[in-house]
Structures are given as C-alpha cells and as structure tokens.
Structure 1
Amino acid sequence: MALSRRSSSIKTASIKSPLKYALLLALGSAHADDQIMQRILVDGSRTNQLGVADAASAGTVTQEELAARTVYRPGEILEAAPGLIVSQHSGEGKANQFYLRGFNLDHGTDLRTSVDGMPVNQRSHAHGQGWTDLNFLIPELAVRLDYKKGPYSAEEGDFASAGAASVVYANRLLQGVASVSGGQNGYGRAMVANSLETQRGSLLYAIEALHNDGPFTRPDDYQKLNAVLRYSEGYANNGFNLSLMAYKADWNATDQIPLRAVQEGQLGRNDAIDNTDGGKAHRYSLSGAWRRTAEDSASRVNAYIIANQLDLWSDFTYFMEDPVHGDQFAQPDKRVTSGLNASHSWHQHTDTGNSETTVGVQLQNDNIFNGLYSTQARRPLSTTRQDHIVESSAAVYLENNTRWNTAFRTVAGVRLDSYRFDVQSSIAANSGKSSDHLASPSLSLIYGPWQSAEVYANVGSGFHSNDARGTVITIDPKTGLAADKVQPLVRSRGMELGARTAWLPGLQTSLSLYRLDFDSELTYVGDAGGTEAGPPSRRYGVEFSNYYKPLKWLSVDLDLAYARARSRGQQDEGSYIPGAIEGTGQLAVTVDDGGPWSGSLKLRYFGPRPLLEDNSVRSQASMTLNGRIGWKIRKGLTLELEAFNITNRRDSAIDYYYESQLKGEAAPVADIHFHPIESRSLRATLIKNF
C-alpha cells in the first residue's frame, strides 16, 4: 500500500533525555562509554553500527530511512533489513511470505518478528507454524527497525534462527498528521495520528481505514480498520507506556493458479479458479512497558495480552480431492496469547574497558482453538480435525558484553527454553501432552583497533518450535494412516564471519559470510492437517550491504545476498530445498535537499528458486521498480505520487510446483502454480501536519 511516512511530515519524540541516552535508545542499548558514543553518531538516515553491533549482519534502520521507502503493503517495511524479501501469494489480508538467507520462511517460520515487544509469530497456527500477520502495523508510528540474523543473541529465542526483526513505535509525536490516499485498482486510505499532552504524560492516537481491490479479475475488496491508543509518562529510558491496539479486516483472495491454464488460454493471469476464497481477521491487544535506567544498571519489563482470530478459505488443488464439490478448505484459528519479558543489566567500568551483564526471563502462553474443514463456497462439508491447544513456554537467558580494551570486545550468552504442549483433538488418538527443553549458547568476538572498521566472528545455537499437534500425533487426519510424532524443538547451529567499515566519508559497508545448519526442517502442513518431516539441512551464504550518502541531498542503498541451501545426507529425490531463495538484491536512490521536491527509486531483484528436490523445475527471477515523488505545496502540506512496478513486469510473486486437477481434467497434473506480481499502479497521497 502507498503508505506515506515522510519524516518532514511526521516527527517523533520518543525520547526527551540527554544526547547520550537518546543515541543509546535509538540503538536499543542501555549503556555505552564516551569513546563508543563518538562512533555511533547517525550519518544521514542510517545508524552507524561501529562499536555497537555484535555482528556484521545486525543493524538499525531509523525513522528517516523507513519514511523514505515506497512499500505496497505494511509488511514490506521489513525489507529495510538487507537481504529480506516480503511477498504475497493470496489476498492482501493474509500473512505475507518471507524469504531470507536461503529460506522460504513461508508465513514467518524462522523469522522472529515483534512490534513494541509483542510477538507477531503465532505458534501452532491453523495455516502454518510461526504465522506472521503484520497487517495491523501502522508505518507512520514506526521510529526504528532493529534487525539481527543468525542464532547469535541470547535474547532472541523461537523462530530467530534465520533472523529477527523488531519494530518500535513512538511514544509521542511532535506534530499531528492526517493523510488521504487514492489510486488505481480501488485503492483508498485515510489516516490520522497525533499526541495530546496531559498533566503528567502524553496520549497518542492513530486511526487508519483502507480499501484495496488489487488488479485481480475478482476484486480483493480488502477492507481494513486499524487503531492505536497509547498513554506514556516519562522518557523511553525512564518511564512507562500502556497501549491498546485494534485491527479488523476482511477480503477476497485470488490464490495461485496453474501455469498450464494460462498458457492454454483458460485463465488470465489475474483470474481465480475458486471465487469464494478469502478470509477475515481481527487482532486486539493490551500491552505495557516499563523501563528504569541508572548510571550502572538498567531494568526493563513489558507484558501483553493479544486476542487473534482468523477465518481463512483456500483452494490450491481445485478438483483433485473432491471432483464434485471442489477442494476448498477452511482454517479457522482463534487464540489468546499472553506473555511477559523482564531483564536487568549491571554495568561495570574497568581500567581498560567496561562490562555489562544481563539476565532475562521470557514467559508466553497460547490458548488456541483451531481446525481444518472441507468447504464449498465457504460452507462446511466435513471436519478433518478440530483442536484445542495450550502451549506454554518459559525461558531464562544470561548474556555478558565486555569491552576488554579499545580494540576488542566479546558477547557471550546462554539461553534455556522449556516448552509444554497440551492438545485436545477431535481425533482422540491425536490428543496428548508433550514437553521439551533446550539450551542455546552463543559467542561473538569483535575486533576493531581502527577508527573506521571492525571484524566479527559469531557462533551460536538456536531453534524453532514445531506445531504442538505434530508432537502428539499418531494418525494422519487426512488419510487415516499411522503418523510419526515430531521433535517439539528443532535445533539450529550457525557461524558467521563479517566486517563493517566506514572508511570513506558518507559510506557504510558490511560484509558477512555465514553457515546455518538445522537438525531437521520439520513443519506442520496446515493445508493437509498433518506434519511433514524433512531431512537435516545446511545453508551457506554471503551478504554485502552498502549505504552511501555522498551529498546531503543524495543517498544510495545497495544490498546483495546469495545463499546455497541443501539437504544434508543422501537423499534419493535430490538435495535441493524447494522454495529456497538463492539471490536477492536492492538498489535504492533517494533525493531530498530539504526544498519543495524530493524523490526516490527502488529496484528489487527476487532471485530464482528450485521448486523440486532434484532442481529439474525452477522458478523465474523477478525484477520490480518502484518510485516516489514528493512536493511540499506549502508548510505543513505535502503531495506524494507513488508508482509500483513502473516497467509493468509480468513476473511471479511466488511459484510452487505440485499436482492439481482442473474441472474437466481426467487426472491430476504436476505443474507450476503461481501468483502474479501486481501490475503497474499509481497512487497519490495528500499529507497535512497540524
């Protein structure tokens, strides 16, 4: 969606504290000595991570850079993390598809995502483990995106092996902002946000309404209402906030279609086979955060309760399972997630450096009701399974960050996770309880005797949890055949070598080489209601990221990544991992001299993927060009024009290879099934500050 977030139009004041704490807060840290402070000044819109980051692949993206990005949908704000691709294969209300470091992360598995300390990934979800729906995100409120890659942080746990992304919302806005947008394909959006100062604190509110049909023959008719209400007192490093968030949406979906039908003229690229596919969702949350920072210590606590509900109707095989009624199925998921995160840090100065030790506790409980049903035109025909799941986890972690001297520092940590699963299924044989625990150590070595460069060595262990239903399953709910239980927690092991430099004024460059192993890529297949076991895997890769600001009015981003993903051990069908991304690239140019005109262009390369284990069928690469022009009509009033897929490429947003059967076909046919990228579209946004 065309989300207008120009920093000149909306300014945040999350921090009202001395410069030292302001910079530390922007970087998500609690302490740093004066020498470090001299090295982490913000250069343009991207924070210089020298002396701060623990890996070449970790970083922070500031509000200014987030505001300059042109994104089609809210989840694409995560593409500010180098090497991360966000896609979609269905209706706009559905969780996005994510790709990173040789992974097709599906709807979020192995990419831990949080907004204001609340987890977005949903465990044991009806449609897929780690379901990450970011449609409730209001980008205008985002003041920072912190990202990490690899299992090298004791603070990050489940789903964080490939990476972790954290979006931080503002506590206060220095200016109110109202915007209205309109564009092709039935697009319309209105948003208003402001802060009201009270006697002791500040009350922030934001309301958003959106409609989008997309380019599809049957319009998506995506309708969304979104709101945030936040009260805060004090400063972000010494204060607290309480937040209410509410999101509700419904939509139609044009799911992926078989390539053969398009090539034979039976379907157009934007057509659907089942015009009743779609969904509706809501998310309501209450959260609070408290923080105290003293000279030699820092404490943080945040707690949340989230009510999520999704009703999803999909049809990927058409008439293969049921030639009479069709293969549409429903996946309802209703849950309440509650949790608490608390940590305390001690900071000590030594003769040659300093040391910070952090101990933390993380608790989460999910009370889940979900199921799988055969349907026709959204009407239930039969029940494949119904489940009530209670999934609880507790984690403690300890991490020490020590600067031994001016050149060398280390980060050493260990994390212990414990999980309990309780499944009550409509299939009695699939009910039961299980538990598991796992210890995850990590170590980072950082060497930087130079003023403008550092090198990093990282090693660590992480994990992802599997769907609770797979840990107690004995019968495949679809076929009735015996099924094997899966390991509740699957271990990952990673290592990385990297470097970061700012040797040229205005240029920030990072390079990382990594390896990541998984003991197994076990996944719960929501479309079938069962668990699919995969072999052990290994991924190698390289990432090259650059941010260059040669002039005050010009900035250039260039991010390139390549990954090689293979199954380990002898595999009869082949060692390629279907859907594993191999290469990505982004080139963005932004021009803004502070005058009435500004603009940006972003070229995104989404590389090919193997679609079968023997690599005999592959997807095609895609290339998209998006752009934005801004005009400050007068003080406090701005007009923005945005263009998506400017060259009108006819590429795929996603490709799969599997069997399906169209009406009239005598037998199933193995084929590529694709969802097209959106055709060229234009949008205009008028922004008023007050």
Structure 2
Amino acid sequence: MTAASAPIRPIALAAVLALPAVLAHQPCRADDPLLQRVLVEGARAGELGVHDAGSAGTVGHKLLALRPLARPGELLEAVPGVVVSQGGGEGKANQFFLRGVSLDHGTDLRTTLDEMPVNQRSHAHGHGWTDLNFLIPELAARLDYKKGPYSAREGDFASAGSAAISYANRLTGGVASATVGSDGFARALVADSPALGGGALLYALELLRNDGPFKRPDDYRKANAVLRYSRGFANNGFSVSAMAYRAHWNASDMVPQRAVDGGLVDRFGTLDASAGGGARRTSVSANWRRSGDAAASRVSAWLIENRLDLYSNFTYFLNDPVDGDQFNQPDRRVTGGVNASHTWHRHAAGRATEVTLGLKLQNDNIINALHTTRARRRLATTRADHVREASAGLYLEAHTRWSPVLRSVAGLRHDHYRFDVRSDRAANSGKARAQLASPSLNLVLGPWGGTELYFNLGNGFRSNDARATVARVDPASGLPADSVPGLVRTRGAEAGMRRVFTPNLQGALAVYRLDFDSELAYAGDAGTTQAGGPSRRAGIELAARYKIAKWLSADLDLAYTRARARSGARSGLQSGAQSPSHDPGARFIPGAVEGVGQFGLVFERLGAWSGALRLRYAGPRPLTDDNGVRAGGGLTLSGRLARKLGGGLRLELEGINLGNRQGAASAYFYASRMDGEAAAREDVHFHPLAPRALRLTLVKNF
C-alpha cells in the first residue's frame, strides 16, 4: 500500500471486516416496512436504489431554500465536501475546493444549469471559469451531484465532481421580496409562473446592489432576468427559456499580510483602487423529453453569449515599477451546444436493463486578450487571441439489475476535441486535435436490511486551454515555450456505503483515490502555462442526516483529503502568481484543503417559525509545495430565521458569519512589490472573510 493511501487504510480495513456482516442480512423485499417508509419519505429518510456511488446525491428545493447564502455560488456548498470562497470581491467568479483540488474558478467541477454548461473553456482569466452570479436561488428546484470520474455522461471538468442545478418550470405561487442589509446590501425579486396556453410561463426579475465592507466600496450592481415557457412534465414535456444577466463592480483583490501588519492598509483596504470589472450573460435554451414503457428520449440545446472585462493587480509594482502591474482580461464568447440521448428499457429473464446512447456537442467561438493597464487605461498588449474550440462526446451506458441485490453501471465515453487558435503572434497560432476514451464501471450491492455497498472505477479527463495546445513562444518573455496535450487523463477509484438505520436516520461513507496525469494549468494572468506533474488525492467522506423530530432535522458532512504530487514537479496553481518551490522534491499541492465539514440544523412547521443554522469548517492547506507556509482553517456560523405574518407575508432575518470570525476567504503565497519597496518580497496575500452581516427580507406570496 502506498503512502498516499495510508490515511484511508483503517477505513478500508473496517469496510472489509464489516462486509460479511452486511452480506448476512436478507435482501429487502418490496413489502419491507423499512424500505416502504424510505420510499415514501425519501426526502427525509434515504436514497437507496437511486444512486450509483456513496458520494452521489440530490438536494431538493426545500433544503436549498433554507440555506443561508452570502452569494449565489454558495448554493454549491449543498454538495458535501465543496467549499466556496471569494478571492476578489463581488461580481467575480467564486473559488471552489473539492476533494483536495483547488478548483480555482471552476476547473474539475463541472457545473450546469438545466444542462447548459457554466464552465467556460479557454477563458481569459482561467480555464473552466464558473461564474454563478446569474443564478437566482429561489428558482432552484434541485441539485444533483456526483463525484469522481465514474459516469460516462459527464465528461470534461467532472474529474473531482459535477453539480447539475435545475430550475423549476412552475412555482407553487408568485413571490415578491425586498431585502436590505449590512454594507449597503439591497435586493428585490419578483417571480411567478401563471398558466398560459396549456403550459406555464415562468418569469423572474432580480435587482441587487452590494457595497461590501471594503474601504473602497464594491459598488456591485446586477440585473438578472429569466423567462421560460413549459408544457408537460419532467419526463414528458418541453421548455423554452431565455436568461439575461448584467453586472459591474469595483474589485477588492487580495492584499499582502505585510501591508496590514505595517498599517499601510487594513484588512478591507486595497492597493489598487482602480481594479474591477463587468460581466454579462445572455442565453436561449430548449429542453424536450419523451418517455414510454420501452424507451425514453431527451434533447437539449442552447446558445450562450458571455462577456467579461476584468481589471486586476496582484503583484502591484513587481514587473513595472513605474506604471504598476495592473492588467486587463477581456473575454467575449458565443457557446452553442446540443445534448441528446436515447434510452432503451428491457426486462427479461429476471433482469432489468437500461441502455443509453448519448451525444454531447459544444462549440465555443472566443475572442480574448491580456493587456497591461494603468487605472484601466491600456498600455500594451501581451497577447490577443481568437479561439475556436469544438468538442464531440459520444457515450454508451448500461444499467443492469442482475438480481434484487446486485446492479451495475458500465459506461464507455469517447471525446474528440478540435482547437483552432489565431493569435497576434504567429508562433502561437495553429490547430490541434485530441481524443480520449474513458471507460467506467460501478457495482452496487444491496440493499440488505437498509444497506447498500458501492464500488466505482473510472477514467475521466480534464481539457487544457486551447492556447496552450499550440503555444511555441512565451508572450511576455519571448522565450521558447512547449505546447501541451489538449486532454489529460484522470483516474478514480472509490468504495462507499449507504445505510438507512431508521426512516429518520441515514448515513453515507466513501473512500476514494483520484489521480491526475498532469497538474498543468493555463495562467491567464501571465498568458502562459504553469507546469505541474502528476498528482494523487486520497480521502474519506462521511455524510449523515437525522430527522430528530417532525419540526427539526440535522445534517453532518465531514471530509478529509491527502493531496500530493507524484513527482518533484511543481504543482502550484493559482490566479495571479506562481507559488515558489523551495525544495526540488516538494510534493505538497498549494491550495489543497485538507479537511472540510458542515453541520446544519433546520427547523420548520414550528408554528409560524422556521429557520436554519449552518456551521461550516474549511481546514488548513499548504500555500507552498514544501508545506513551509500554510493557511489556517476555521469555523463560520450562518443562519436564517423566518416568521409568517399572515396574508401571504413572511419576514426573514439572515445572518452571515454570525461569530464575526476574522480569517481569510482565500490566501496565496507569492512575491510582490508594493509602491516604495526597494525589492520584491514573498508574502501571504489574502482576501478577508466578510465580517458579520445581517439581512432583513420581507416576502409576499401571491
């Protein structure tokens, strides 16, 4: 057994020792009282027979609605083990952490809304850019999540996990709300889904402003709208949707610790008051479903326009002592795609089989650049590119129930990518292709007396930025550069268990290993590729849900990961600067959070009252690959309290960071030079946790 798997050795041994006892149980019959109660009370009791891994799950609208949220992207923290933070103030895409992978702004966490991809390929700031600020949480009907490369359906960006958010087609009633809160927070929302032409017309409009706690207010303003017409049901029907989002903001980027210690700025200050940005997203999409006894078909199509204009400065005067290091990253793109699948159902010889053939097509037409600027005034162009990136993924997946206690999911996926880069430097222009086959196998044993066991194996992949696949010259230094492969293989293995102890208490356990053939990443802030060798993550996850009483429930999620490079190559991946390597044999992976956890209490139907408390733990992590500099972890507590007032009115009080913890939302270690410093200095640069914030909302249901 390797050192990387040492932390999971006791759990694996326990699972093996427990297996005979579990197998000794009689299979659950269809009329088993426990199983019947689980099926009837599924939302509060269990998910036996539904998922193919102990780490997969679904979160419904009710639980999503009760989560306190500082910003929309934190909805993904409903996925056990996911940590969502912010490194540049409001408006900018969140930073994500899962299974020891520092996902930066979305790489390796595939995120979709109604099957539309949210991850943006070959982005100006970071490959996989996942901006969820256009999300309206009140419309989220469910969130389905998977972890690891065990599903042939997912594909790119899904090696650590995937999160699929679905908007509702119909609301239970109209809603209008107005919110005011700390630090200039204000929000208004109106949404409804009246009947129209045999279907429903869903509409929603959101307006928001937030200054934040910073000395230079964020002045984040956004307008967000959704219009959808639907007919039928989830398995037999269709919907057509249009969405539009606009925002602009002042950035509150990271500050060096020495600037705070020396009194130059406080935790909420800035060293470049002209940083900021603007974003917009416009989309049209359609979904169609048909289901019968023998077959089912699904087709979805979308066209998305995204724009970002981002001004940042992470190193201040390191590279340019006169004009400073501010840079601008404009990105404009149109993304089109189609997902189609057909499933055949067959029942014969005591077996039930579903075979699904699916096709995913996507094309991105991208224009982006990297400019040096001063106070948002352009000084020079480091690089400018026109990128066309197209992909086709074909998959075949077979679900077979061999007996009442054994089922399997076998999948095979083949992806083909085409990269076409037209750069302002001829040496960095060109075309490239890449293709990869990804098999997967999932075995599920059970249920036996309320227990299921899962064994998962699979190959996946992560794509690289298109510009890196044809690069020959470093655009900043002019030195020769090596191109990289378009697709990098990932490999995963997992053993899990789900147990329904009573209809009110269930738990899930997963032990996993995830290998990346390369930690290469395109650094949009520098216009080059950061090198990194192969890596391995090994860890354990535990999730439990307990319905304490009719009005009170609790949940607990814990995860630990050991992340290490598998060679001496540097694996520091970060937006803004490279993490220095102090030891050629260093194997730690900067930004890999080692432990995370959440504990939540939810109460409802307690007269006119309802609410939730959520305690969140984000553990320590190395900031250098020799583990010489680390970021500490900490707890934050947030909550929501609501009271019905009658007449369709409800008053809600939401508190973020109730303990007013002073920590870092994100932290990196690299060299910078402030104005007036004689030389560069390596230091921890951090973005602070927002202080305690209170928000009061008046809701009218109609």
**Normalising by structure 2, what TM-score?**
0.92
The answer to whether the Cα contact below 8 Å between 1:624 and 1:646 also exists between their aligned partners in 2 is yes
CA distance in structure 2 between the aligned counterparts of 1:353 and 1:397, rounded to whole angstroms: 22
Change (3 A) 1:89 1:449: closer
The answer to whether the Cα contact below 8 Å between 2:45 and 2:506 also exists between their aligned partners in 1 is no
CA distance in structure 2 between the aligned counterparts of 1:419 and 1:557, rounded to whole angstroms: 41
Partner residue, 2:126? 128
2:624 to 604, 612, 631: 612
Partner residue, 1:442? 440
Could you say what secondary structure the match of 1:92 adopts? Answer: coil
CA distance in structure 1 between the aligned counterparts of 2:344 and 2:319, rounded to whole angstroms: 60
**The 10-residue stretch of structure 1 (562-571 or 653-662) with the greater mean CA deviation from structure 2:** 562-571
The answer to whether the Cα contact below 8 Å between 1:471 and 1:486 also exists between their aligned partners in 2 is yes
- Residues 274-324 of structure 1: CA deviation (Å, up to 9, x unaligned): 001111000000000000000121100000000000000000000001111
Is it true that 1:599 corresponds to 2:611 in the alignment? yes
- Residues 492-550 of structure 1: CA deviation (Å, up to 9, x unaligned): 00000000001133111000000000000110001100111210000100000011112
CA distance in structure 1 between the aligned counterparts of 2:240 and 2:690, rounded to whole angstroms: 38
Change (3 A) 1:179 1:54: same
Partner residue, 1:656? 668
The answer to whether the Cα contact below 8 Å between 2:539 and 2:561 also exists between their aligned partners in 1 is yes
Partner residue, 1:418? 416
CA distance in structure 2 between the aligned counterparts of 1:34 and 1:209, rounded to whole angstroms: 50
- Residues 6-59 of structure 1: CA deviation (Å, up to 9, x unaligned): xxxxxxxxxxxxxxxxxxxxxxxxxxx978995763647457221110000000
1:577 to 574, 580, 589: 589
The answer to whether the Cα contact below 8 Å between 1:650 and 1:676 also exists between their aligned partners in 2 is yes
Partner residue, 1:368? 366
Could you say what secondary structure the match of 1:260 adopts? Answer: helix
CA distance in structure 1 between the aligned counterparts of 2:485 and 2:513, rounded to whole angstroms: 23
CA distance in structure 2 between the aligned counterparts of 1:214 and 1:536, rounded to whole angstroms: 39
1:671 to 661, 683, 697: 683
CA distance in structure 2 between the aligned counterparts of 1:529 and 1:276, rounded to whole angstroms: 22
Could you say what secondary structure the match of 2:259 adopts? Answer: helix
Could you say what secondary structure the match of 2:525 adopts? Answer: coil
Give the deviation of 1:615 after TM superposition. Answer: 0.3
Change (3 A) 1:35 1:474: farther
Matches within 5 A, 1:39-58: 41=39, 43=41, 45-46=43-44, 48-58=46-56
The answer to whether the Cα contact below 8 Å between 1:486 and 1:533 also exists between their aligned partners in 2 is no
CA distance in structure 2 between the aligned counterparts of 1:35 and 1:415, rounded to whole angstroms: 38
CA distance in structure 2 between the aligned counterparts of 1:402 and 1:351, rounded to whole angstroms: 12
Partner residue, 1:508? 506
Could you say what secondary structure the match of 2:501 adopts? Answer: coil
Partner residue, 1:352? 350
Is it true that 1:140 corresponds to 2:138 in the alignment? yes
Partner residue, 2:495? 497
Superposition misfits of 4+ residues, deviation over 6 angstroms? 33-37
Could you say what secondary structure the match of 2:77 adopts? Answer: helix
- Residues 232-269 of structure 1: CA deviation (Å, up to 9, x unaligned): 11112111000000000000011000001111111100
CA distance in structure 1 between the aligned counterparts of 2:276 and 2:586, rounded to whole angstroms: 35
Partner residue, 2:484? 486
Is it true that 1:221 corresponds to 2:219 in the alignment? yes
The answer to whether the Cα contact below 8 Å between 1:216 and 1:254 also exists between their aligned partners in 2 is yes
Is it true that 1:109 corresponds to 2:107 in the alignment? yes
Matches within 5 A, 1:268-417: 268-417=266-415
CA distance in structure 2 between the aligned counterparts of 1:689 and 1:449, rounded to whole angstroms: 42
Partner residue, 1:98? 96
Is it true that 1:587 corresponds to 2:585 in the alignment? no
Give the deviation of 1:489 after TM superposition. Answer: 0.1
Change (3 A) 1:332 1:34: farther
The answer to whether the Cα contact below 8 Å between 2:185 and 2:210 also exists between their aligned partners in 1 is yes
- Residues 551-605 of structure 1: CA deviation (Å, up to 9, x unaligned): 1100101000000000003451400001111000101111112521112111100
Partner residue, 1:162? 160
Partner residue, 1:456? 454
Tell me how many residue pairs correspond in the alignment: 658
CA distance in structure 1 between the aligned counterparts of 2:427 and 2:690, rounded to whole angstroms: 45
Could you say what secondary structure the match of 2:467 adopts? Answer: helix
Could you say what secondary structure the match of 1:416 adopts? Answer: strand
Could you say what secondary structure the match of 2:194 adopts? Answer: strand
CA distance in structure 2 between the aligned counterparts of 1:114 and 1:506, rounded to whole angstroms: 31
1:630 to 639, 642, 651: 642
The answer to whether the Cα contact below 8 Å between 1:622 and 1:652 also exists between their aligned partners in 2 is no
The answer to whether the Cα contact below 8 Å between 2:48 and 2:447 also exists between their aligned partners in 1 is no
CA distance in structure 1 between the aligned counterparts of 2:420 and 2:41, rounded to whole angstroms: 50
- Residues 462-513 of structure 1: CA deviation (Å, up to 9, x unaligned): 0010000000000001111100111100000000000000113311100000
**The 10-residue stretch of structure 1 (451-460 or 36-45) with the greater mean CA deviation from structure 2:** 36-45
CA distance in structure 1 between the aligned counterparts of 2:417 and 2:72, rounded to whole angstroms: 31
Give the deviation of 1:622 after TM superposition. Answer: 2.2
CA distance in structure 2 between the aligned counterparts of 1:411 and 1:372, rounded to whole angstroms: 45
CA distance in structure 2 between the aligned counterparts of 1:449 and 1:428, rounded to whole angstroms: 60
AA partner of residue 585 (structure 1) = G
CA distance in structure 1 between the aligned counterparts of 2:354 and 2:47, rounded to whole angstroms: 18
CA distance in structure 2 between the aligned counterparts of 1:578 and 1:569, rounded to whole angstroms: 14
The answer to whether the Cα contact below 8 Å between 2:420 and 2:431 also exists between their aligned partners in 1 is yes
Give the deviation of 1:613 after TM superposition. Answer: 0.7
CA distance in structure 2 between the aligned counterparts of 1:169 and 1:46, rounded to whole angstroms: 21
The answer to whether the Cα contact below 8 Å between 2:45 and 2:505 also exists between their aligned partners in 1 is no
CA distance in structure 1 between the aligned counterparts of 2:317 and 2:37, rounded to whole angstroms: 62
The answer to whether the Cα contact below 8 Å between 2:49 and 2:447 also exists between their aligned partners in 1 is no
CA distance in structure 2 between the aligned counterparts of 1:544 and 1:325, rounded to whole angstroms: 51
Could you say what secondary structure the match of 2:611 adopts? Answer: strand
CA distance in structure 2 between the aligned counterparts of 1:462 and 1:388, rounded to whole angstroms: 28
Gaps (5+ residues) in structure 1? 1-32
2:652 to 640, 647, 655: 640
Change (3 A) 1:44 1:442: closer
The answer to whether the Cα contact below 8 Å between 1:46 and 1:60 also exists between their aligned partners in 2 is no
Could you say what secondary structure the match of 1:261 adopts? Answer: helix
CA distance in structure 2 between the aligned counterparts of 1:497 and 1:637, rounded to whole angstroms: 47
Could you say what secondary structure the match of 1:513 adopts? Answer: strand
Could you say what secondary structure the match of 1:555 adopts? Answer: strand
CA distance in structure 2 between the aligned counterparts of 1:438 and 1:170, rounded to whole angstroms: 35
CA distance in structure 2 between the aligned counterparts of 1:573 and 1:449, rounded to whole angstroms: 46
Note the aligned Cα RMSD (angstroms).
1.3
The answer to whether the Cα contact below 8 Å between 1:315 and 1:327 also exists between their aligned partners in 2 is yes
The answer to whether the Cα contact below 8 Å between 1:513 and 1:541 also exists between their aligned partners in 2 is yes
Gaps (5+ residues) in structure 2? 1-28, 570-583
Give the deviation of 1:68 after TM superposition. Answer: 1.0
CA distance in structure 1 between the aligned counterparts of 2:339 and 2:96, rounded to whole angstroms: 26
AA partner of residue 565 (structure 1) = A
Could you say what secondary structure the match of 1:404 adopts? Answer: strand
